Amino acid sequence: MLGVAALSGCGTSDSTSSTTVTVFAAASLQHVFTELGARYESAHPGTAVEFSFAGSSTLAAQLEQGAPADVFASANPANMDKAVRSGRITETSTTFATNTLTIVTPPGNPAGIATLADLSRPDLRLVVCAPQVPCGAATRTVTAAAGVAITPVSEESAVTDVLAKVTTGQADAGLVYVTDAASAGDRVVTVPFPEAAAAVNSYPIAVVADAPNPERAREFLDLVTGPEGRKLLAEAGFGSP
């Protein structure tokens, strides 16, 4: 269920002194966090950053069940709050980015999607995120605010799964974050819609209370929230907190 990207160190390969920082991060952060992980490793020889990318609700549940981790980055405050209630996060989290939804279609937009209202067509194969996932909660918010009733053929556990259904031709349209649409490049057509402003997702990050490597975890968090992290996030299409 978890998409895991384990990054090898860019410096020394001395395994006797190696340290691993485990980062649980929302699936929509995969591209930019992978780059930040590589940069962190380059600056900290002997330290490897291992990522578990998945829907934030899945990661919060993993933390509640005791999964070891050093850092948690969620795509919304609600799932960070779950980690707080389970006792795995005890510090005040830091909001480091924002994101909004957009419509994506296969190349050429064969279904002719132009507006959010078009997603209500009964013949449309629409894929969205499941309600418990931040992008799914945002989908419910924007469609309810716009009075658009949708009937998706599938509800996915991560926004990257929605994108994959569209890029592989299994769906006529999907609702994903603008950052995911940007990362897909010419594999999708992006259809912005003004109603997306009704649901702006804020991304919080925090060091896990029982982090195996709290000092290294803090350094990674500082990289994400500092100038270098903010620059990469902006380049990926994330909004400022």
Q: Roughly how many angstroms between the first and final C-alpha of the chain, as a whole number? A: 29
Q: Burial letters for 223-238: b for 16+ Cβ neighbours within 10 Å, e otherwise?
A: bbbeebbbebbeebbb
Residue 52 is assigned to a ligand binding site: no
Question: In the block, which residue shows the tokens 């100038």?
Answer: 227
Q: Burial letters for 190-208: b for 16+ Cβ neighbours within 10 Å, e otherwise?
A: ebebebbeebebbbbbbbb
Contact 106, 167 (CB under 8 A): yes
Residue 28 is assigned to a ligand binding site: yes
Spatial strand order in the sheet of 19-26: 3-6, 47-54, 19-26, 71-73, 201-207, 94-99
Q: How far apart are CA 15 and CA 101, in angstroms?
A: 42
Q: How far apart are CA 19 and CA 6, in angstroms?
A: 13
Binding residues for molybdate: 28, 56, 159, 177
